[in-house]
Structures are given as structure tokens and as C-alpha cells.
Amino acid sequence: MVSVINSVDTAHEDMIHDAQLDYYGTKLATCSSDRTIKIFDVKSGQQTLVSELRGHDGPVWQLAWAHPMFGNLLASCGYDKKVIVWKETNGTWGKLYEYPNHDSSVNSVQFAPHEFGLILACGSSDGSISIISSAGDGAWDAKKINNAHSIGCNAVSWAPSISPGALLDQSVRQQGVKRIATGGCDNLVKIWREEEGQWKEDQKLEGHSDWVRDVAWAPSIGLPKSILASCSQDFRVLIWTNDGTSNDWTSKTLNKFNDVVWHLSWSITGNILAVSGGDNKVSLWKETLEGQWVCISDVTKGQGQVTESQKGSSS
Amino acid sequence: MAEREREPHFCAINDPSCSQGLQAVWGCGNQFFVFPGKKAILLNERRPLLMKEETIREVKWDMDLHRPVLRKLVNESHNVFTCLQEQAKKTSGAALHPHIIRSSKQYRASLKAYSLELKILADSTIDEEQKQDFLDHLQLLEMAELIWGLCEILFIDSPAGGLVIAPLLEWLRFHFQTGEQMFLEIIREEQPEHHPLYWDTIYRLVLQGQAEHVRRLLSLHSSKHSKAFSSMDELLKKMPQHTQLFRGHSIAEFDMKWRHWRDECERRLEEGEFSSYGNLETIGKILTGNDEVFSEFRDLCETWYHMLVSKLLYQNPTIKGFDLQYHIQVCLDEYRSNTRIGELDNILLSALEYDIHQVIKDSSAVFSNWWFVAHLTDLLQHCGQLDSHKLQFGSNLREFLLLEYATSLMSHKSLWIVGVSYLDHCPEFGRKYLEHFMENISIDSEKKAQKLLHICQERNLAEQAKSICKVMGRRHMQHKRLGAALTWFLKSKDVALSTVIAERFLFEYSEKGSFSNLDLIDNLGPSMLLSNRLTFLGKYREFHKLYEEKEFQAAGQLLLSLLQAKLAPKQFWVTLLVDAIPLLEAQEVIFSSAQTFDLMHCLEELMREFKDIDVREKEKLALLRLALTRNLSRAIVTEGTVRRT
Amino acid sequence: MADTRATFVSHKINKIRWRQQQKQSLQESDVFASGSWDDEQNKVCLWKVERQKVQSGEMDDGGGKGYVESDPVTLCEAPHRGDVTGLEYMGQDHIVASSSTGTITIYKHHTNSQTLGVSQQWEKVHHHYGQMCPCTCLAVRDDVIVSSGEDGRVNIIQVGHKTPNRVIDKADSSTVNSITFLKQTEFVTVNSTGQLKIFDLRTNSDEPTQTLSVTGELTPLQCIDKHPSQAHIVATGGQDGVLGMWDLRHDKFPVSLMEAHSGTVWEVRFHPTAPDHLFTCSEDGCVWHWDGSQVNATPVGMVTGINQITGTGAGSGGGNLSTPRQFQYGGSAVATGLTNPWLATDIAKNKIEITSLLDQKSLPINTLDVAGHTLLCGTDGETIFTMNLGSLR
């Protein structure tokens, strides 16, 4: 049984664009068109507003929490072309770093797996991607990939830190490979890889017929293959897989929805994918032992308490 | 596989603001947050209308195990589960089998115990809604017990020779207790035969093969001495008992005996021995396995599976498990008119058809948690019932379900630790799952951190262990508890952060002129060797102690060696060199001429590298230079004197 | 082997304590308190154990075998904010609890109505500059409470007063894990760097009067208990599973270190009336009974004489004994004659018999308490074990 057990009234004055739970599931950060970011304590079923962060001059699009080993850090990006890293010290939140080097709205931000250190990637409507890293002494360094997606980059997602091949052969533990997947208005999903300090395009995945709104790299569960999900304005969600030995990525349509799909989110262990978007629904998808993707649960806008079941359409 | 063809769970949110689209983010385990809204609105997209109500909803599922009563079931069955896994490591095959059966019985006993507890709770609850909730769960537990019982007989216990009627009768008696209860009530009556249910009860007992109870009831009848009653008593007494089968009788022998007995029943029936007593005649018909009489007792049997077992008891008592399926349809047809075939019926049907796969599949859909399928499948796996030639997915199925169960436990604030234990028994993905979960368990205190660390260390999760220490250390640093932070960095042998702390201590010293956290610094012992800075800190404190204890010679040597080993950060050289001044001006000569030269060397190097030393420090260094020169001459003089004598 | 009952209680137990019996009372206590942790809503619970006399031939001087215990049943409970990190009875009807939120609460057990209510509370007496900080331990002597926490602070609190009487802000650089009174005016703490510090309330100094430690080690000490009749003997349990014995009169170092459990020792307790018996419980899921009553069975003069023939090594006794992996007797062996088995020489120490009371390794055991014939322990498996030990000498 799926049930709503709590609700948090955010009191945002405009549309919410993102909400992110910290690593321990105790703090929820939200951001909105009202230019603010709010942080709520959501421990043991109670929600209290801890802090409200102001610093963006326009709608705030996306948030990302850093691993707690770096302290309490939150990154945000917005319409004002800025990326801001916020830090909590003794209960008070303040700006730690501001990155102003984009020429247009910054749509997406995400921290790299903590094994790589304190690094974040962001994608902008100016078509470029920035990879910003901190040496830990307060100095920040940025690398930029220009013209990554024509018309704009909408989403970034880091690959898990352990490259799949390393698990098969423990002796070649090549933990170092940093990879990012991005999606853009050129209908493409691209994979980027860092080689000798330079970011290079590794793959160009063609499959969508409209803007790609989100990409999400699945957490590794020890299989040699990599799994990537993408969703698009074309109403479809694609699951991309790479067997870990070759460079080929194959795609499979998870489902064609009734409206634009704009958000994807994998569960912690990567066994369930949550899909949401313009059809006012959140559906949960799981791969069966036969390799089929099936819908297991649906949360939807409804009039009554519980509406009648809809048959999950499996691909 | 488990979810195939299962209708998705459905949950609706009644909120108009959700009509602008929804988004969801994951929490830990089976939890996420749903909110109305849209990702970044791209430049040329139309902005949706402004929405006022901006509420985020926390959605969870698979939570019914989180109820207090069911948590007991979770913990108790966990013990059973781990015991069996331990046994399975030591033995296998026939030697393991008794352990599997014992575990199966223990699981059922827990189910029974907690359904009783739920029943008591339901009975004592006044709140209607809550009561219904208890009753709903009670129903599920009872259903689990019923299915489990049948599966135990068919797949786990597998009775000798495949003869299933005896255990099936026991199963019936366990779940259909009206006959037994009425029996106990009626025998206490003064005139039992006048009890309105006297004969119904007798029929029920006959249908469950309870010959002794039936004889007892018949002996309470006023006509017990009549010929018909005596005859019936004799028949019931002679009825071959299945227990004989276990006492070394062969099946053929038992079969022959039974045929003999039934022939006698038929003969007496035909000869009209019971004709004056309609009820006895009916019993006679049951004993001879008359089809019509079973149809007539449809209501007393209550369900098709009860009828199936009752009927087969008298028609085919040595039937083998695999042949049960051929007799189901007739019984099902008897009930078709008034009830729809429900989920429970379907599962039992699949079980009787030996379709284990289907049983598990349907059960995972019916039960709102993974407890049932995960534990049952584990037993079936150990029994060899899930060998891949029998089932497409082989052991994957067991792991698949255990992972689901563990995941639902990991979503709970307290039960996560049980989840860890289940993941330990998932050879393929358990470890990876655990790695992910460990990063997401909130660390509320040092005690919790220690426990998580222990879990990591026992399983060699080095990355996660390091991460926990880093988180704890960082947190203490934030709270300005540098000593406590250092204990965590030392634990994970974190050179970089230990160095950071050591530098903070040194900085504090150069600011305030005194050390804090001495209880820790003075007792670092060999752990100080982790980082050069830490070693320097420890040694520098030793220098101070030696100085305080007026061990000037030793203090001087240590100071010099600290400078020479280049352990100290350059910024700290000034402090060190200034510390040398009192030693240089001590009464006795502490530094030899050579050593004085070394100190001078250090001073020069420092002056070269740091051009912008502030005025105050320059003064100090000038003082030092003076002291060094003076000491040099003193040292040369003493050395010369010593040499001469 | 002890008779053991397992009661599943639906919350993890972090602390368990028997209610104190009135002096002169010959009856064993049948009420105990428990505190939960690591849950959304934690609580303090009071339990009762029914004891039924058994008419059996095996009567050992009114010993525990003459009774059969039932599963403990809840008498009453009260919600508790944060983990219960410390729990002590104060008199018969008051229970003091410390919390991971830094707060100390006294609950009163109203025996007439069987309810549990808050009678006094000191909020956030442990804190990091006002931010939340867990209190980790407390000890009670008459109407004085001492507490410590992850802030390294020690609070001395007098019941009835609104604020602590005295605060030692920098009692420790690391986290204090356990605290206990030695005398009316003296208490001892153990910390996360393996130190044992004695504080004297009569002095004005915030410095400990004595600091003891295991040389060259920073392994945290997690728990401490004082010998019930000889205040200079204390036992500690460490994160490395080692049981330490200390003679506070003598050295800076432990008298002996015994490698025992394979995980943190969370609690160590001397039997209050049979102090030759000691109990430990651990993260490794085991509870051990250390029986030192045989150490002095041989006259002291003979100990050296029978050097070669002491066959009763640890763990070789009964059928249910679990043999510890390895023993290491370190520290300086202080020969103190016959007086106390826990300070005995190495050779005699071989006669300490160790029994594992829970043979099935389960989830971590956080706490134990023993009184009379009954040992209680509480676990992360949401279980309370009640064990009848029989009679101890």
C-alpha cells in the first residue's frame, strides 16, 4: 500500500521547482520561483522550517546536497545565471561560494560522487556545462565545456564513482574515471568523460524526438553494466544500457506517457525509478527478473480518496 | 517477476495544485516526497499559472511491518532466519532438512502468536477505525498461516511416500475449529443429544476424520446401547488410522485394510443396520465416500479445500500429493455458485497444483509486505524446490524477494539493523545494497556512529567506514571540538584531516601561547605517527613538558631535532626558534657549537624564505641571533675546556 | 546454563535497570525500567516480572532455581525525546534518564495509578554552544546526579535545583562515554581516548585528581562499573571488546586487560551482592558471565605451588561454555593477596570461569543489569532477555 503519511506546507509564494532530501533523510530543501530556498527539518514525521536562503535574483531551479563528510553544503542554480554553494555553520546558513560564469539560466546542478572530492557539475541554457571543484582550502576551480548542447543543456547527472569493469577485475581498480550524462534541447543525451584533466565527449545518444528534460544515472549495484534513464518532451522515458565491455549503448522505451515527462529519480539502490511530469502522476517502475520494466505504483492527482486502479502499461 | 500482472498500487492526492504537474524525489528506502511543480522552465516555454498552495507530501509504502505487533514478528522471525542460514552453511541436503522443517514450524508459531496478540488488541480497542485496521491485519496473518501450512505439507515437509491426507487433516483441524469447539461445548451439556448442533457437530468431526470424538459424542446419546449405535461405534473404532502408516505398515497393507473396512461400512449400510437412525445412516454414507452426501454438507465443509480433503479421506486415503489436483475441480464446482474465486483460493489452488512460482507471485501481490514471500521462498530454496531446472529464476528469486524485504526494513528508523542482517544473506547484490544504505543511515550520536562503523568493519566496507569517520570528525570540528574530531580522523587513519587538526592546535598555541586538549595531545602515543604535523605536535608538547620539568638538555636536543627533521611547518619555525632563546641563555651550555651552527642555519633559511616577517617577530629573531652568537662563544670555550682535561 | 526468556518489545533497548529494593528487604526486585533508542518516538518503560514458586525437590537455600519467571509485562510508559542514553533509579520510585538531545529528566513512578510522569527536567545541559549535543551517561548518588556527554562537559546536578550546581566545561577533550560515583564526593569517567579520570567534588579545580589509561592506546572505553564493596576496584569495557580491571589505589595503568568480545563492550556490571561475579554484554551479541569465585578457593600460599596443575582454565568447565578466543593478561600484576579475585595474579586468574549466557549470536546487546538471581539485558533486536542465573556464591 502506498500512502501519504505527512505533508509539508512550504509556504513558498510561487511554484516549487525542486525538492531534495539530504543523505540522512532528515532535511528537505526546496526551491521556488519566489527566489527562495527553504530548508525543513523532517525528522520523525515533524516538519519545521529551519532556514530560508535568499541570494538568487530569479527563480531557483534545482538543488543538490553534498555528502555530509564535507559538512552541510547545498548547491543551487537558477534563472539568474548563478550557481551558489551554501554552507551551514552552527545552525546558520550562509553563502560559501558563488559561480557567475554562465551566460544564461542555469537549469541543473549536481554534486559528484563523494569519492571524487567536492565537485559539482551544472548545465545551462547557454549550452555549456561547468564542472566546479573545491580544493578544500576555500579555493574553487572551474572547467567549462562550451557548446555541449545547442540551444541549451537541461540536465546533468554523474555516473557512480566505481566504473563497472573494476568490479570484475579487482586488480584494475580504476576508480578515477569521472563521467557525466547530460540532456539538452538538441534532443540528445551526451556522455562526457574526463581524460587527463580534460572533459571530452564520450557518447552521443540519439533516441528522443524532442527536448530531453532529465537524465538520471542509476546507482551501481555491482553489475558490469551501466544504466541511464532519460525523459523528454516527446512523452517518453528511455532506459539506456551499456554492458561495460563495449562502447555501445542500447535503448529501450520504458513507457510513452500522456504528457511531457520532466523528472526522473532512482531509489538509493537503483532498483526503482520514479517518473513524474505533466500528466500529474508519479509512477514507480521496476525491472523484473525477466528484464521487463513494469509500473508498480502510482501517485496521482485525484478527486476522491483513492481512485480506481489503472492497469500499468508495461512496455 | 513477482510483480508481473500485478496491478500497480494506486494512491491519489486530492489537491488542485497538483494539476500543474508533479515531481518526486526519493528518501531512504520506500519513501519519497511528492510536490506539485515543474523543473526549470526553459526560455521559450510558457509559464504556468501561479499556484498558491505549495505542499510537499511524504509518501511511503510497505509499512505495515512497522506496527508494534508486527515488529515483534520481524524480530522473532529474524532469529529463525539467521539460525537456518547458519545451519545451511554447515550442512545441506538430508541433514539440513529437519532444520528447515523446524524453521517452518517456528515461522508459523510466530504468525500464530502475533495473530492472537492482534486479536486481543482488536477486541480491546474501542475506536472502530483502529479496530478494523487490526482486524484487517489479523485476517492477513491468518491467511498467511493457512497458505504457509499447506506449502509446508506439500513442499517442505513432503511426508513419506507422498501420502498427504494425514497432515492435511491436521492442517484442516488447525484452521477449521468449529467442530472441535462445539464438541467441547456439547460434552458439557446434560443432554447432549438435544443440543441443536449435536448432529452437525458429529458430521463436522467425521468430515475431519475425528473418529474418537465422534464415538465420544455418540456414546452420550440415549440410544447408545441400540444395535445401530453399537454397530457405528464398532465401525469408527475399526477405522484404520493414518498413524499406522508411520509405524512401519506399508502403503499396500494400509490400503488393503482400508478397503476391507470400507467394504464393511458399505455392507452394514446396505444391510440397513442404521436404517432406523437417519443420522447414523448419513455418517455411514460419509464413511463410504458417497459423493452426494458431501454435496449435501457443503456448508459444514465451508470451503472447497475442506471438502477436498474430507472427500479424499474417505474416497482415496492414500492419495499422493501430486494427484490432489485431479480432484479439485469437482469441489470447486460445488462452491462456484455462491462465491467468487478469491485471491486466497487461487493461491491454494496453485499450491495444490504444485505451481510454486505462481504461489509466490500471487502471494506477493496479496500481502502488503514482503515478509511472507521472502521467508517462504528462502525455505523453499533450502529445500531445493527452487532449483533452476524447476524454476526459471532459480536462486535469484530468493534473493530478489529478500532484497525487497530488506529494503522495506531499511526504510525504518529502528528496524534497519534487521535489514542489514538480511542483506548479509543476499550473495549477489546484498553487499552493494548495503553500501548504498550505509551512506544514508542518519548518524545521530557517537554511539550510533560506532555501531555503523562496526557493521562496516565486520564486512570490510572500507569506503563507508572512512566516510562515517569523516562525517563524525567534520561534525566535531564544526562544534569546535577538535580533540573529539581528531579521535575520529585517527580511527580512519585520515592523514589529511589529522594534519588539519594538528595545524589548528598549533595555530591556537601561537595565538594564545597555550595548548588546549592536553589530555589528548599528551597521550597520542604511536598514533601521532599518522601525520608529520601530528608527530610534530606531539613532539613539540614533549619539548614543553621537558622544559617544564627542567630537563633542559633533553629539551634542547628535541627542539633541534624537530627543526632538523623539518617536521614543523615553516610558519612555526619562528616560534620554535624563539623557544630556543631561554635554552641558549641558560646557565649551563645546552647547545654545542655544532648545534648552534645548525640553529643559525635554520634561522638563515627562515630569513631567506620569509621576507615579510612582521616587525615584532624580527625583533625576536634579532634577539635570537644575539643569543646564538653568545652561546656559540660559550660553547666553544666549554668544548675547548673539556677537551683539555 | 541459565534459563532464558526472550520478550519482544517493539523498540530497541539502550538501558535497563532493576528497581532498587528497600534496605532489609529480602525479596528480590520484580520491577525494572528500560529506555529505548534509535526510534522515531523513544520511551521509558516500567516492567514487572511475575515470579512463581516451583514445588521442586531441587531447593538450593532459597535460590533462584526455586522460581520460575514469566515474561515481563509493561506496567506503564512515558515518551522520551531523543535516545535514552542513561537510566538510573533514584530511590524506589524515581527514574533519571539522560537523552541524546542533551536533556536530563526525572520520571516519577506513581505506584497507585501505575503511571509514569515527568517530575523534573534540565533541558539541554549538554550542548555545543547552544546547538544540540547528546548527553551520553549519568550516575546517581542520593539526590545528586552527574552527567556527561559528547561535549566533554560534566554537570553536577542537585535534585530540586533548577540549574546544575556545578559545570565542568572542559572535563574532556573527547567524548565521555560512562560515568559512575566512587564515593559521595568522587566520581570517575571513561572517555573515547581510553582514559579513566577521577574527579573530586571537594576541590575547586576542574582538573581530574587522577588520570589513568591504557598505555599507547586510544581505544575508547565505553563503560565502567565499580566493585560494590571495594571502591578502588573498577571494571571497564572497551570498544575493542576488552575487559579492563583497574586498582585505583595503585597504578596509572590497568591491573589486567582481558580480550573478550569481538565488538564493543557496552556494559559491565559486578553482581551487587555476589561481587565475585561479573557480567559483560557486547555489540557482538553475546553476554558473558565471569565467575571469579574459584580464584580464592586455593589458599594463597599454594597458588604458586600448583602453578603447573591449574587445569581449570577459562572456559573448560561446563558444556555450554564458550571459549574466548584468546587471553592476554597485560598491565602490572599487583599482588594483593587473597582479598579480591579481580586483582589476583595471572596464575590465579586462569581460574576465572567464563560462560556465555546467550549462545545464539544475535543483534547487539546494549545493556544489562543484575540483581539477585535475575539478569536482564536489552538489545537492538528489540528484545529483553530475562535470565535466571540460579544461586551465585
Q: What is the pLDDT of residues B430-476, one digit of tens each?
A: 999 999 999 999 999 999 999 999 999 999 999 999 999 999 999 99
Query: How far, in whole angstroms, is CA B570 from its chain's centroid?
Result: 54
What confidence tier does B387 reach under pLDDT thresholds 50, 70, 90?
confident
Same domain, B314 and B224: yes
Residue B449, helix vs strand vs coil = helix
pLDDT: is C23 or B146 the higher one?
Answer: B146
Confirm whether B339 is domain-assigned: no
**B33-49 residue pLDDT tens:** 888 887 777 766 666 66
Query: How far, in whole angstroms, is CA C306 from its chain's centroid?
Result: 34
The residue assigned the cell 512496455 is: A315
Instruction: Quote the domain boundaries for residue B225.
Output: 171-319
Question: What phi-psi label fits residue B501: left (phi over 0), alpha (psi between -120 and 50 degrees) or beta?
Answer: alpha
How confident is the model at residue A11, as a pLDDT? Answer: 87
Residue B515, helix vs strand vs coil = coil
How confident is the model at residue C317, as a pLDDT? Answer: 32
Chain C residues with beta carbon closer than 8 angstroms to that of A91: 130-131
The residue assigned the cell 500485478 is: B6
Same domain, B42 and B104: no
pLDDT: is B60 or C313 the higher one?
Answer: B60
Average pLDDT over residues B56-85: 91
3-class secondary structure per residue, B338-383: CCCCCHHHHHHHHHHCCCHHHHHHHHHHHCCCCHHHHHHHHHHHHH
> By C-alpha distance, which of C163, C20, C166 is closest to C87?
C20
Contact assignment for B71 to C382 by CB distance below 8 Å: yes
Q: Is B69 on the interface with C (CB under 8 A)?
A: yes
* A273-287, B11-25, C281-295: the lowest-pLDDT one: B11-25
Chain C residues with beta carbon closer than 8 angstroms to that of A90: 128-131
- The shortest C-alpha distance from C370 to chain B (Å) reads 23
Chain B segment 364-423 residues within 8 A of C by beta carbon are 413-414, 417-418, 421
Same domain, B50 and B79: no
Q: Is A305 on the interface with C (CB under 8 A)?
A: no
Confirm whether B438 is domain-assigned: no
Helix (H) or strand (E) run with residue B280 in it: helix B278-287
How confident is the model at residue C283, as a pLDDT? Answer: 96
- Using CB atoms within 10 Å of the CB of residue B44, give its burial: 0 to 12 exposed, 13 to 18 middle, 19+ buried: exposed
Which CATH entry fits the domain spanning C3-21+28-51+68-295+345-388: 3.30.465.10, 3.90.1150.170, 3.30.450.70, 2.130.10.10? 2.130.10.10
Final residue of a structural domain among B517, B549, B581? B549
Contact assignment for C129 to A44 by CB distance below 8 Å: no
Q: Considering all CA atoms of chain B, what is the largest pairwise distance in Å, rounded to the nearest integer?
A: 143
Minimal Cα distance from A296: which residue of B? B8
- The shortest C-alpha distance from B228 to chain A (Å) reads 58
Predicted confidence (pLDDT) at residue B493 exceeds the cutoff of 70: yes
> By C-alpha distance, which of C88, C77, C8, C83 is closest to C45?
C77
Predicted confidence (pLDDT) at residue C309 exceeds the cutoff of 60: no
Same domain, B56 and B78: no
pLDDT: is B97 or C338 the higher one?
Answer: B97
Confirm whether B1 is domain-assigned: no
Query: How far, in whole angstroms, is CA C154 from its chain's centroid?
Result: 19
Minimal Cα distance from B439: which residue of A? A23
Same domain, B390 and B366: yes
Contact assignment for C131 to A90 by CB distance below 8 Å: yes
Chain C segment 74-93 residues within 8 A of B by beta carbon are 83, 85
Same domain, B27 and B117: no
Do strands C287-291 and C67-69 pair parallel, antiparallel, or not at all (unpaired)? unpaired
pTM beyond 0.95:
no
- The shortest C-alpha distance from A167 to chain B (Å) reads 11
Cβ proximity of B550 and C240 under 8 Å:
no
Minimal Cα distance from B397: which residue of A? A289
What confidence tier does B389 reach under pLDDT thresholds 50, 70, 90?
low
Do strands A106-111 and A119-124 pair parallel, antiparallel, or not at all (unpaired)? antiparallel
Predicted confidence (pLDDT) at residue B518 exceeds the cutoff of 50: yes
Q: Is B136 on the interface with A (CB under 8 A)?
A: no
Query: How far, in whole angstroms, is CA B107 from its chain's centroid?
Result: 15
Same domain, B415 and B461: no
Counting residues of chain B whose pLDDT is more than 90, the rounded percentage is 61
Contacting chains of C (3 CB pairs or more, <8 Å) are A, B
Q: Is A94 on the interface with B (CB under 8 A)?
A: no
Contact assignment for A91 to C131 by CB distance below 8 Å: yes
- The three cell numbers locating residue B151: 506449502
Q: Which of A30, A59, A69 sits opposite B56 (nearest CB)?
A: A30
Average pLDDT over residues B570-584: 84
Contact assignment for A90 to C40 by CB distance below 8 Å: no
Same domain, B535 and B636: no
User: Domain limits of chain C?
Assistant: 3-21+28-51+68-295+345-388
Minimal Cα distance from C137: which residue of B? B447
- The shortest C-alpha distance from B445 to chain C (Å) reads 7
Contact assignment for B413 to C39 by CB distance below 8 Å: yes
Average pLDDT over residues C118-138: 95
**B307-349 residue pLDDT tens:** 999 999 999 999 999 999 999 999 999 887 666 678 899 999 9
Interatomic CA distance for residues C66 and C356, integer angstroms: 22
What confidence tier does B395 reach under pLDDT thresholds 50, 70, 90?
low
Cβ proximity of A227 and A191 under 8 Å:
no
**B401-410 residue pLDDT tens:** 999 999 999 9
* B68-77, B153-162, C322-331, C369-378: the lowest-pLDDT one: C322-331
Q: Which of B15, B29, B467 sits opposite A301 (nearest CB)?
A: B15
Final residue of a structural domain among B319, B334, B363? B319
Same domain, B360 and B412: yes
The angle formed by the CA atoms of residues C6, C10 and C11, to the nearest 5 degrees, is 100
Question: Which DSSP state fits B154?
Answer: I
Residue from A254, A269, A284 whose CB has the most chain B CBs within 10 Å, to mutate: A269
Same domain, B485 and B415: no
Residue A256, helix vs strand vs coil = strand
Average pLDDT over residues A224-246: 92
Same domain, B180 and B313: yes
What confidence tier does A131 reach under pLDDT thresholds 50, 70, 90?
very high
Buried-state track A11-25, b at ≥16 Cβ within 10 A, e below 16: ebebbbbbbbbbbbb
Q: Is C129 on the interface with A (CB under 8 A)?
A: yes
What confidence tier does B61 reach under pLDDT thresholds 50, 70, 90?
confident
- The shortest C-alpha distance from A189 to chain B (Å) reads 17
Task: Give helix B416-423 / helix B395-410 axis angle, nearest 10°.
Answer: 160
Mean pLDDT (chain C) is 85
Q: Which residues contact C231 (CB under 8 A, 6 or more apart)?
A: C182, C183, C248
Q: Which of C40, C128, C129 sits opposite A45 (nearest CB)?
A: C40
**In angstroms, what is the C-alpha Rg of chain A?**
19
Contacting chains of B (3 CB pairs or more, <8 Å) are A, C
Same domain, B485 and B410: no
Buried-state track B405-424, b at ≥16 Cβ within 10 A, e below 16: bbbbbbbbbbbbbbbbbbbb
The residue assigned the cell 524525489 is: B25
What confidence tier does C346 reach under pLDDT thresholds 50, 70, 90?
low
Total number of domains in chain B: 5
Residue from C4, C8, C45, C221 whose CB has the most chain B CBs within 10 Å, to mutate: C8
- The three cell numbers locating residue B292: 452426494
Predicted confidence (pLDDT) at residue B252 exceeds the cutoff of 80: yes
Contact assignment for C363 to B418 by CB distance below 8 Å: yes
